A and B are shown apart, each in its own frame.
Chain A
Amino acid sequence: MHGITSSTALWYASRATGVVSLVLLSAVMIIGILVNRQGRLPGLPRFAVLGLHRNLSLLAVTFVALHVITAVADSFVSISLAAAVIPFVSAYEPLWLGLGAVSLDLMAAVIVTSLLRRYIGRRTWRAVHWLAYASWPAAVAHSIGSSKDLQNGPLLGLAVACILGVVGALAWRLARARAEVPRARRVPDLMASQRIPEGHAAGQAPQDRLVRAGRR
């Protein structure tokens, strides 16, 4: 039974860094979706949006590392280092901690491939990067399931806000993707949009519609 009154400093640190990690990881997911859909943040050039995604992810990894190290080092509850990386082998809360280990493993794959992305090829990098969509929900489930902090009070509100943010961004991404024109319609649609409407002033260029090219 772990309440606020009966924990060591390390245990506190682990819970605190855990919360920060969840917020940072959620922000990384949202900004990653923004990068993919070529969205912009006000005042920031495109390379800065990407830079924010990358820097926040490295910051998140740092906090996750601290979260794991303090949890392992803490003697209040026995969590081995192995349990932090191998899913479901922990004696303490095997399910919820196991999900944390799953999230950590997937995150490690995403981070390592991204650091080496220039050398591993587009297809491989993209395939592994998709695992972020498995890593984040595992992190959320781990956070809520293993910590009473997040199950009520303001921290529950924080967790819900993170979830809504990522789910909202994902819904936006899916909507935009569904609106993408299939290959056979791209050129005819563009040609149709080029026809100058009757009342248009002579010589003015029509509203140029940017049609996305793509492999699909």
Chain B
Amino acid sequence: MSPTMPLPAMASSVTPGPDAARTWPAQQSPAGGGRLPRLLPPAGQPGSDLAAHLGRHGPVPYRGWSARLIPEVRAAGLTGRGGAAFPVHRKLEAVAAASGRAVVVGNAAEGEPASHKDEALLRLAPHMVLDGLQLAAEAVGAARAVLYVRRDLRASTRLDVQISERERRGLDRVAVEIVSAPTRFLAGEESALASLVSGGMAVPRFTPPRVFERGVDGRPTLVQNVETLAHLALIARYGPGWFRAAGTPDEPGTMLCTLRQADGSVSVVEAAIGAPLAELVGRAGTALLVGGYHGAWIPAAQASRLALSNAALRPLGAFTGAGVLAALPADRCGLVETARVARYLALESAGQCGPCLNGLPRIAEALAELAGLAGRQPGPRVLADLSRWAGLVDGRGACHHPDGTVRFIRSALRVFAAEVGQHERGRCTAGNSPPFLPVPAGPSTDADWS
């Protein structure tokens, strides 16, 4: 059921373009200023070996008491790498200021089927993630640390062993507990995460209160993507200036991207923010999906002129999100791919909110009809229905699942407008090809949410 893509033998590093490098006062660093890779170990060096990790980066740089790390994170300008890009220092401050003993959670649910970056990170640099978890726990005064890992990832990595080894060597100040996450699209949503770790199902809760106020067991909870924690650990060692030596002034640092090329090959790379998309995905087929299944399509011609940054992508209604870049091959139909993903997204609804539960399946069926997957000619009202339902669903759920789905679908109708015209006349420019974008099976019983 879950996509078991063979993990790329080595995540390659990408040299940043001219905009990406910045000169800052020199700091002690492993890769020297703006050079990559940072998170991922250089070719040939195992990052999953604890001794090698400590040898390369030194011990975990605890600050001595809580909150001392936060000004450095603010200076570095680190934003979350889980998709929402929220400033990390503000989350740390909010959790540290909330009343009650905090809980920190490293989020490796990777509910996005097209993304493999968290899996790659946990295989190639788990100790950087675990260092970040400890430093975050110290920064907010947490008494409990959790690593929330998608169930199949936990089974196929050696995290339990790696954590035990750290404990034996006295590296960790807060014991780390691994919690298995179900393979659901929404499992990584922060309130769903808090719900599952508290013993319930991985379904979102209504906010406010947000999890930084009341999360796991009602306690203030810091939820950070595992990549974010890894960056945090590097900032703690090498400083904000070093972090800002890559990336752009407004969006500093590097990010992990899952690249899905038009030839079908999949890899995970670390790129400086601001790197040209053309260097990452090459000839981007007919269109490029940016961000993930809550992201947006952009036309290939425009994609080749853009950079990997929210500043460059926002005017086209896209954002870097979870770092998924998927190039649609010329022999595939964007509408058909979108319709298949839309059906998956509808099945992944938690089924709690009337608008989402009623709207997404209807949208998915209408899109399937438009894409020619329903075995009949699209009716004259399909586009009007799609537009009306998208408007009814947007912003009316407890979480952002309907919003993200609508953004993805609207971008498809915009970018593939020519195909829409063809499909309304019963034609498709592409043949009947197997799915290009990965679409796992949805839930079949309620236990699939635990």
A binding-site residues for B, Cβ under 8 Å: 182-184, 186-188, 190-191, 194-196, 202-203, 205, 210-215
> Is the C-beta of B331 less than 8 angstroms from some C-beta in chain A?
no
Question: In whole angstroms, what is the CA distance A194 to B376 when docked?
Answer: 13
Across the interface, B346 reaches (CB within 8 A) one of A191, A203, A215, namely: A191
Q: Are B347 and A188 in contact (CB under 8 A)?
A: yes
> Is the C-beta of B17 less than 8 angstroms from some C-beta in chain A?
no
Q: Which chain A residue lies CB-closest to B348? A: A187
Q: Are A194 and B361 in contact (CB under 8 A)?
A: yes
> Is the C-beta of B169 less than 8 angstroms from some C-beta in chain A?
no
Question: In whole angstroms, what is the CA distance A204 to B162 when docked?
Answer: 60
Q: Which chain B residue lies CB-closest to A193? A: B361
Q: How far is the CB of A190 from chain B (nearest CB, A)?
A: 4
Across the interface, A183 reaches (CB within 8 A) one of B351, B358, B365, B379, namely: B351
Main secondary structure of the interface of A (DSSP, over half): loop
Q: Which of B230-238, B309-317, B442-450 contacts A (4 or more CB under 8 A)?
A: B442-450
Q: Are B357 and A190 in contact (CB under 8 A)?
A: yes
B448 proximity list for chain A (CB < 8 A): 184
Q: What are the interface flags for B406-450 relative to A under an 8 Å C-beta threshold, 1 for contact and 0 otherwise? A: 000000000000000000000000000000000000111110110
Q: Are B350 and A183 in contact (CB under 8 A)?
A: yes
How many chain-B residues does the 8 Å CB contact rule pick out?
Answer: 32
B352 proximity list for chain A (CB < 8 A): 213-215
A187 proximity list for chain B (CB < 8 A): 346-347, 349, 351, 357, 360-361, 442
B binding-site residues for A, Cβ under 8 Å: 203, 343, 346-347, 349-354, 356-358, 360-362, 364-365, 374, 376-377, 379-381, 385, 442-446, 448-449
Q: How far is the CB of A76 from chain B (nearest CB, A)?
A: 55
Q: A205-B381, A213-B351 are in contact. Are A186 and B357 (CB under 8 A)?
A: yes
Question: In whole angstroms, what is the CA distance A214 to B203 when docked?
Answer: 12
Q: Are A195 and B374 in contact (CB under 8 A)?
A: yes
Across the interface, A190 reaches (CB within 8 A) one of B361, B376, B449, namely: B361
11 residue pairs of the A-B complex, CB under 8 angstroms, read A182-B446, A183-B351, A183-B446, A186-B357, A187-B346, A187-B347, A187-B361, A195-B374, A196-B379, A202-B380, A211-B357
Q: A182-B446, A191-B361 are in contact. Are A213 and B354 (CB under 8 A)?
A: yes
Q: How far is the CB of A213 from chain B (nearest CB, A)?
A: 4
Q: Are B445 and A184 in contact (CB under 8 A)?
A: yes
Question: In whole angstroms, what is the CA distance A7 to B326 when docked?
Answer: 89
Q: Are B343 and A191 in contact (CB under 8 A)?
A: yes
Q: Which chain A residue lies CB-closest to B203? A: A183
Across the interface, A184 reaches (CB within 8 A) one of B356, B364, B376, B449, namely: B449
